Structure formats: structure tokens, C-alpha cells
Structure 1
Amino acid sequence: MVLKDTGIIHFGVDRLTKRFSTNKVLIIPVLLVTFSVITAFIGTPELALVYVPILIPLMIKLGYDKMMAAGVALIATTGGFLSALTNPGTVGLSHQIAELPVYSGAGYRFLLLMAIILSGVVFLLLYAKKLEKNPQLVKQSLKETASKHFFEEKSYEITTRQKIAGLVVIIMFFGMIYGVLTYQWDFVTLAGYFLAVGIVVGIVAGLSGNQISESFNKGFRDVLLGAMIIGVARGVAVVMEESQIIDTIIYGLSHVVSSLPSSITVLGMLATQGLFNFFVPSGSGQALITMPIMIPLADIVGTTRQTAILAFQIGDGLSNIIFPTSGYFMATIAAAGISYAKWAKFIYPLLIVWFLIGCVFLLIAHAISWGPF
């Protein structure tokens, strides 16, 4: 909200709208690739919460709806997360537990990333075509978002000071990526960093202390519902952990997987990790709980540890945008004003495609004994 009140976001949306006005469908692959690559490197699907308030006015101006905005944000970040190249919280941590070279096997995961994002682009392009044939859907979305003052129908120009502030935003964003990759910043640190971005950029753009504070308060009000949803979703995991139910569940699931034929054990691992994500939606938390069991299991059944980790990545990532216990996902659709039922109906065809893609990549990985060992 601080960035919005500096005028930078409005200016960016206005320029993007003009740039893609003659061929607006190009905005979908451009944004999807950009957001997914960012998440593939730093592993922060929670950035979907940051993208949605920016994407809604952009998509509305281009003739789409808020579902398209949420779709771009969540499909891009989830796709990048489930096929992450150097995500410290899932890939890096799992490699350490499995005693593999950290971030090894990135080439094969890059091929998975390409397949996942390509299918996401096709899915959203088909939805865009549907919107073009049903303009009433866009009108309804416009009516629902108008009261939230996401945008105003006018052209925007910015001053030299605001341009400098925009440059500071870009520099600080790359600083965040550097911090995550180099120092493994956690989400508390990232929260402080985002607060610093708002203060620094606000000052550079010419906002007073009172204006920055008021902007922060407005932004806080907008995401308060999402924050409450995240807390409730996390509460489920806390209850499961403290009551030691999680240990029983993972022990039982591991026995089921071990009884499967060797050739499809990896698919059992994929399903197990996906189901387990309902109880522990945290990627790093799930890695700490399940990897010490799944890695020895992979050794026993004759698949590689690298393949077992990939099964964890895909299963964890797929369920992140369908399970209501995933706090950032629920907060994102809440911020976009989309009900869970509507989202589930919208996304399930793509989830099926992603699941099939994941199965194919896992079976190939098992067949070629992919990985160091």
C-alpha cells in the first residue's frame, strides 16, 4: 500500500496496459515466466500475496477479471515452487538431510519447470479466450472490485523523484533475492525487509512519516483477513504436532508406500507427500518430518534419493493451491475476493495436468536412476 500511494504501482500498471493493449494475451506468459523463475530460485510462493493487489487492476484494465489475477499469481508461484531449482527451504534442506550435493540435479528440475509453466500458460490462455467470449464475467468482476479502489481510469505520469524510488524498489527486490540465497533469510526477516522497503521507498518518493504510516495501516487492514486465515490454518498443524498425531500418520503412510511395486514406489511417495501437506503445509517443516523416513525408504526400494526429493517437491507444491490449510494460498484468494469453491472449480483441471506431468517426470527419473545416488 505504501508503494501504491507513491504512485509507482499505478504508473507501472498504466504502462503495462499501454504496452500490451494491442496484444494483451502476451502479458500472461511474460508474468507467469517472471514470477515462476523468481520463486524457483528463492522459494517464496507467499509472494502471491504481494502480486495480487498489483495484478487485479492490471487484469481488469486489460479486459480480464480478478480470477485471472489470482490465477497468474498462484499458478506462477506454485509452479516455480514445486519445480524449484534452488529453493533453500525444500531443495536445499532436503539435500542436506539426504547428504546430496546441495542444489544438485537442477538441470532435470529445469525441464520440469518448463513443462509446468508451459501448461500453466496454456491453461490461462484458454481461460482468457473464455472471458473474451463471456464479457459478462468481466463486468461482474469489475463491479466487485470497483468498491475496493484498486485503480482509477486515468493516465499516470511520475516525477524524477518517483522514478528514483522505482529504481530503489528494483534494487531492494534483488537485495531480497540475494539475502534469501546467501543468508537463508526466514519469513520473519523477510517481513522486516518488506517493511524497510516501504519506509525507504516512501521517503525517497517524498511521502511524509504520517503518510507512510497511514499507507501501512490501510495495507494492514486489507490483508488482516488473510493474516487471520493463515493463523487458523497454522493452528491445525500445531495441534497435529503437539498431539503427536503427525508421527503416527507418516509412519503408517511410509509402510503403505514400501509395500508398493518398486516401479511405482515414487508415485506412492508423491501421493504421500501431497496428502501429508494437508497436516504440515510448511515445505521446510514437511522436509524435516518426512525426509528422514523417505530417504531410507528410497534406498530400500531401489530408487534414488534425488528422485525421492523430487516426489516431495511435486507433492508438496501441488497441494499448496488446493488444501485450505495452506495459509498463504487461502490468504491470497481472500485478498482477491474469491471463494474457495470458485477457486477449486477453476484450478482442478490444471492440477490434474500437473499431477500427470509430475508422474511422468518421476517415472523417467526412476527409470534412469537420476541423481548422484
Structure 2
Amino acid sequence: MPDEKEKGTKTSRWLKLPDAYGILFFFLVLAAIATYLIPAGEFQTEESAEGIDIIVPGTFSVIDSNPAGFLDVFQAIVTGLVSTADLIFLVLIIGGVFAVIEKTGAIDAMVTKIIKVTENREWLLIVVIMFVFSVFGTLGIIVNAVIAFIPLGIILARSMRMDAIIGVSIIYLGAYVGFAVAILDPLTVGFAQEIAGIPLFSGAPERSVMYAITLIVTMIYVIMYSRKLKRDQHGGILKDNPFPRENSEELTVGKQKMKPVHILVLLTLFLGIAAYVTGVFVAEWNLQEMAAVFLVIMVVTAIIGRIDINSMVSSFIQGAQGVLYGALIIGMARSIVVILEDGRILDTVVNGMAVMMEPFSSTMGAIMMLIGNGLFNLVVTSGSGQAAIVMPILGPLADIMDFPRQVAVQAYTMGDGFTNIITPLSGVLMANLAIAGVPFVKWVKFAFPLVLIWYTLGIIYLIVLVAIDFGPV
């Protein structure tokens, strides 16, 4: 008979939380089953000026079903990887480039400087880092590429003797609070406004106020959690294992003095990102140009840091390997949407949402848009993809419920953004957690109360926006 120790080992094996890939595969199977239970349907579409198919409201019809077969489930994974290849390779490239930058000691020197400036003022470090990434987020610059910055967040969290949740929060939540209440994001706000037929980036002053309030509240939430950790590093959600993917070695950060070479390397990184931001708004650059810019940053960094080509390549490969797990999970998450699209039930879900919201009017209708779109975002996590699907519905619904389409755009952006930080179908979220080693269930325990706070703020915003007739249209 097995002894008690063997029994305990077997039990713990069954109770162990599933890997992120396991969770996503479970949802993939559920999506495949749904293609047998939900009637297939489709809307008629028309092509926009950008070549994107836009749904024509009121054209939904039931069509022949196309349920997913056994092999389709696994083919969807391949399709998901292929369709997100540009983002996957961007993450790999950024991971590799940051490894080269780190080899120069510039990252360590920067962290040392930040730690020195914010010494014994952890709240200030959290505020500064979250603010910087929120600005990137509200401009739609590094929302997906934020994955590559998670290791930096972990380094900063270790320097403060916090935990991996803080490491993820100061980077990921910083970027996504900006994304959720975006001001000038061309792929969400801009695209949604174009579909709704209202001026591009109109309503920026009001959105700036909402962004500032939401950011401050989020900072306070993270700082309150950090203070619990400051009293006891093992008193947080991760308990006795504050850094699941870190070993027990002593901290190696905080000891590198800033040198001219470090300043030049960091300046190269800053100028590269600035060039990309300019390219986004001036030349409509996309992820491919961003990847190219980072490769240029790597080459210039190697020259400044006098890193020979063999060492540069070796560091790049090592850095890319470090984010490979997280990069591939993006395609895995996409495979679920592939199953829903191929099974022809995605439009049925959208139509059901439209039918449920139609009876509401004015303020309550706007709130239902926020909640409904938040629930829909649990399935379709692509901001621009979701805009193409739901905004053609939400725009006319706003007309029916007698409030400006600008309000519908705001309900869409918040609904899209708020649930991004808890949906397991978000490749970016699951990749961040995988890199940091934070179990999904543990993260949800931390983030779900914040989502409720965000939704409370969102409802208040919508009540005010409907009251002031937030226009145009």
C-alpha cells in the first residue's frame, strides 16, 4: 500500500492549478461544444474605407450550422498562431532586444537610479512607473507589446521586496488603465468613432478627465496592496512564494552606477519609441514597423555598448526564449475566436446582445451597453476587432435609445478595456502572468475587486455623459 507521503503527492498533483495553456484549451473545447448548441447566424457586411468588413445592422439571419469537428479544434490552434504571427514575433523581438539592452547594464543602472530617487518611498516608484505606462496605453502604443516589459516590473518589485503581482500591476495595469479609458488610441477610440460617424478623437477633454480619475484610483488600489506587502512580504495573495518564477538568489539590481554608455543606450531606446509613436500618427505604422524599430534599437545598442555580433545574437536568442512561452499563448487565445467564427455563432452572440439591450432607453441603455460589451469582451478581446463587430450595432442602438453616439463609443471602449484584465481569453494577460509565474486564479483574486471599482466609475461616467449630452451626434 502507498504510504501517506505518496498519497499526499498524488492529491496535490490533482489539486494543482492548471497551466495557462490548459485553461485556454479548456475554453477552446467549450467553444467547440457551443457550435453544436448555439444556432449559426450572420449579418450582412460592407467594406469600410480601411478594407474592414463592417456589420450592417438589422440584417441578421439564421444560416446553416457548421459545428467544429475533432480535428477543427487542433487546426484552430494552428490558425490562431498564424493569424497572430505579427504580434507573436513582435513579442519575441522585443524580448530579445531587451536582453541585449540589459547586457549593457543600462536597465540595471536605470533601476538603480529609480530606486535611489524613490528610496523608502515605494509609492512614488509605483506612481511614476504606472503613469509612464498609462500614457503609452492611452495612446495605444505598447498595449500588446507590454508583455516584454513584465521582466522589468518583476525586477522593480523584487527591489521593493514586494511580490510578482506588484511587478505585473505596475506595468500591465498601468498600460491597461490607459487603454481602458483611452484618449488617442487609433485602433479603439479612433476606429470606433469612424464607424459611429463622429469626428476622429472628438471628446478628448472629457476622456482626459476620466482617464486621470481612473488612473489615480488604480494607483491607490495597487499602493494599498503594496503596503500590506511592506509589512509582510509573505502576507499577499501569493503567500510564501512571492516570486514563483524567481529563485532565491540575492537581488542583483540596485548596484549599477549610471555611466555615459548607459545614458546613450537608454536615449536610443527612448528615441526609438518616440520615432514609432510619430510613425503611428504620421505614417500609420503598425506592429511590423514597431518590430523593425526595435531591431534598429538593438543594433545601435550593440554598437554603443561595444557588443560583438556573436554576443548580440546569443543575448537576443536568450531573451526571445525567455518570452517564448508568453508569446505563443497569444495564438492559443486567438484559436478560441477562430472556432467561434468558423462555427458561425459569433454573429448570433452579437445579435443576442443587441436584442437584450434594445428595450432600454437613455441612461440605463448606456449602462447596459457597458455591461454587455464587457461580457462580450470575455470572448472577443481584440479592441479593433470588437469595434468592427459591435459598433455598427451600438451606434444605431444609441439613436434608438436617444443618446449621442459618442456615449456609445465610450461605453464600448470601457467595456472592451475593463474586463481585459481578468479574461483568460486575453493572450496578452495570460502571457504576462505566465512570464511572471502568477497563477491565473491568484491574479483574478487580486484584480476582480479592481474591475468592480472600474465598472462603478464607468457607470458614473456614463450617467454624467448622458446628462451633459456628450456629443457630437
* TM score, norm. by length of structure 2: 0.75
1:142: Cα distance to partner?
A: 6.1
Residue in 1 that maps onto 2:360? 260
Q: What residue in structure 2 maps to residue 62 of structure 1?
A: 160
Q: Is the 8 A contact 1:43 1:86 kept in 2?
A: no
* CA–CA distance in structure 2, aligned partners of residues 200 and 278 of structure 1: 41
C-alpha distance in structure 2 between counterparts of 1:150 and 1:174, whole Å: 35
Which of the numbers 82, 93, 105 marks the counterpart of 2:180? Answer: 82
Partner residue of 2:344 out of 224, 244, 259: 244
Match of 1:52 in 2: 150
Structure 1 counterpart of 2:131: 33
Deviation at 1:313, TM superposition (A): 0.3
Pick from 371, 391, 396 the counterpart of residue 271 of structure 1: 371
1:131 has 2:229 as partner: yes
**CA distance in structure 1 between the aligned counterparts of 2:248 and 2:394, rounded to whole angstroms:** 47
Asked if 1:205 is matched to 2:305, the reply is yes
Indicate if the aligned counterparts of 2:196 and 2:395 stay in contact, CA closer than 8 A: yes
Choose the corresponding residue for 2:213, options 105, 110, 115. 115
Superposed, 1:168-317 pairs within 5 Å as: 168-317=268-417
Structure 2 vs 1, CA of residues 259 and 148 (structure 1 numbering), >3 Å: closer, same or farther? farther
Structure 1 residues 332 and 312, CA, compared in 2 at 3 Å: closer, same or farther?
same
What is the CA-CA distance between 1:360 and the residue it aligns to?
0.6
Structure 1 stretch displaced more, 122-131 or 145-154: 145-154
Shift of 1:295: 0.6
* Higher deviation after alignment, 14-23 or 131-140: 131-140
Is the 8 Å Cα contact of residues 362 and 466 (structure 2) preserved in structure 1?
A: no
CA contact (8 A) 2:363 2:462 kept: no
Alignment CA distance shift 1:147-1:307 (3 Å): same
- The 1-side partners of 2:243 and 2:131 are apart by 29
Indicate if the aligned counterparts of 1:43 and 1:84 stay in contact, CA closer than 8 A. Answer: no
The question of 1:332 aligning with 2:432 is answered: yes
What is residue 104 of structure 1 aligned with on the other side? 202
- 2:192 match: secondary structure: helix
Aligned twin of 1:3 = 101
- CA deviation after TM superposition for structure 1 residue 361, in Å: 0.3
* CA distance in structure 1 between the aligned counterparts of 2:118 and 2:229, rounded to whole angstroms: 17
Shift in Å at residue 140 of structure 1?
4.2
Return the alpha-carbon distance in structure 1 between the equivalents of residues 136 and 210 of structure 2.
Answer: 15
2:334–2:427 Cα contact (<8 Å) kept: yes
Q: CA deviation at 1:272?
A: 1.6
Q: Single out whichever of 265-274 and 310-319 deviates more from structure 2.
A: 265-274
**Per-residue deviation, 1:43:** 4.6
Measure the CA separation in 1 of the matches of 2:339 and 2:297. 35
- Structure 1 CA distance for aligned equivalents of residues 446 and 387 of structure 2: 29
2 CA distance for matches of 1:258 and 1:332? Answer: 37
Query: CA 1:319/1:153 → structure 2, altered by over 3 Å: closer, same or farther?
Result: closer
More helix by proportion, 1 or 2?
1
SS in 2 for 1:320: helix
Between the aligned partners of 2:250 and 2:107, the Cα distance in structure 1 is: 11
Residues in 2 aligned to 1:245 and 1:275: alpha-carbon distance in whole angstroms: 16
| Structure 2 gap ranges (5+) | 1-98
Deviation, 1:22, is 3.0
Q: Distance in 2 between matches of 1:52 and 1:150?
A: 20
User: What's the TM-score once normalised by structure 1's chain length?
Assistant: 0.95
Query: In structure 2, what residue type is equivalent to 1:188?
Result: Q
Seen in structure 2, the aligned counterparts of structure 1 residues 43 and 166 have a Cα distance that, compared at 3 Å, is closer
Q: Give the drift of 1:60.
A: 1.0
> What's the offset of the Cα at 1:153?
5.2
Deviation at 1:305, TM superposition (A): 0.6
Aligned-pair distance for 1:154? 6.1
Is the CA contact 1:56–1:150 (under 8 Å) kept in the aligned structure 2?
no
Bigger Cα displacement from structure 2, 12-21 vs 179-188: 179-188
Q: Which moved more, 1:155-164 or 1:278-287?
A: 155-164
1:346 counterpart (409, 427, 446): 446
Q: Deviations over 1:212-260 (max 9, x none)?
A: 1111111111111111211110111122122221111101110111112
Specify the alignment match of 1:16 in structure 2. Answer: 114
**Change beyond 3 A, Cα 1:357–1:193:** same
The alpha-carbon distance between structure 1 residues 260 and 43, as it changes in their structure 2 partners (threshold 3 A), is farther
Pick from 359, 366, 371 the counterpart of residue 466 of structure 2: 366
Please tell me whether Structure 1 or Structure 2 has the larger radius of gyration of its CA atoms. 2
Give the deviation of 1:350 after TM superposition. Answer: 0.9
Provide closer, same or farther for how the CA distance between residues 195 and 240 of structure 1 changes in structure 2, counting only shifts above 3 A: farther
**Could you say if the C-alpha distance between residues 262 and 163 of structure 1 is closer, same or farther in structure 2, counting changes exceeding 3 Å?**
closer
Output aligned runs, 1:145-156, within 5 Å.
Answer: 145-147=245-247, 152=252, 155-156=255-256
- State the alpha-carbon separation in 2 of the partners of residues 154 and 310 from structure 1: 42
Deviations for 1:309-353, whole angstroms, at most 9, x for unmatched residues? 000000000111110111111101111110100100011111110
Count, aligned residues: 373
Unaligned 5+ runs, structure 1: none
Contact 1:265 1:301 in 2 (8 A): yes
Partner secondary structure for residue 201 of structure 1? helix
